[in-house]
Amino acid sequence: MTQCTSRTVLIIAGIVLGISGCSERMGKGWDWNRMRNQPRYQPYRDSKFFADGKAMQLPPAGTVSRESIAADSAAPPDSALVATRGKAQYGIYCAVCHGVRGDGNSIVATNMAQPSPPTSLIVPPVSLMSASIVATVIANGFGTRMPSFKADLSAADRQAVAEYVKTLQNRDLPVAATPPHQ
Ligand code: HEC
């Protein structure tokens, strides 16, 4: 057999096997339905299995989420770097749309078509986001109007810009909205 015919035979065999893999009839003898329809609880339903009668159980006492470990172990932002590099890169890449103070006041924002002008970065929802989420938005872009800055800003720069956005938010927090001291 030439190399070409054996390749054709292989391809045809692949197609036949591939198609038959999708067939229900081939499944006979294999108890697929038992795998598909396993007894399970729906969220928020009753359960006779657990003592409190609920299908949804709280995590055991002392459980720590992976997210909170990541947040706790993250190095505190280098404030000097944030104030210099973060501010400079923000001025270059973000201020054109989000305004120098992050309040959405910019020529581009004013002229951008409705319905989605750039969000002010200093009010909710953005002011409620952690710096790492803002850094993710910088890396991935947002919607159709905000491009990804992965190619322009290194991971360290994205983090510095995100931390700088947080400082803009804190600076502009009205005194009345400052949480009371505990
Ligand atoms: C070309 C204009 C433009 C530039 C430049 C730009 N953005 Fe945006 N950004 C937008 C628009 C438009 C939105 C979406 C607004 C909306 O949908 O409300 C947005 C949304 C956001 C959001 C909110 C995402 C959310 O979940 O609501 C954040 C945070 C953000 N931008 C940060 C930045 C930072 C930091 C930079 C600089 C690295 C930057 N943007 C650069 C236009 C821009």
77, 73, 74, 75: which is closest to 166 by C-alpha?
77
Higher pLDDT, 68 or 143: 143
Is the Cα dihedral 68, 70, 75, 77 positive or negative?
negative
> Separation of 33 CA from ligand 1 center, angstroms?
47
> Separation of 14 CA from ligand 1 center, angstroms?
47
163: exposed, middle or buried (Cβ count in 10 Å: 0-12, 13-18, 19+): buried
Residue 57, Cα to own-chain centre: how many angstroms?
Answer: 26
Average pLDDT over residues 51-75: 78
What is the reported pLDDT for 179? Answer: 45
pLDDT over threshold 50, residue 93: yes
Local confidence band at 136 (pLDDT 50, 70, 90 cut-offs):
very high
Local confidence band at 38 (pLDDT 50, 70, 90 cut-offs):
confident
Distances (CA, A) of 130 to 63, 99, 109: 22, 20, 24
Local confidence band at 134 (pLDDT 50, 70, 90 cut-offs):
very high
Q: Among 113-122, 129-138, 145-154, whose mean pLDDT is lowest? A: 113-122
Nearest-CA residue for ligand 1 atom 2 is 97
What is the reported pLDDT for 92? Answer: 95
Higher pLDDT, 8 or 150: 150
> Separation of 106 CA from ligand 1 center, angstroms?
12
Other beta carbons within 10 Å of 99: 21
Nearest-angstrom CA–CA distance, 162 and 156? 10
Average pLDDT over residues 69-94: 82
Nearest-CA residue for ligand 1 atom 27 is 126
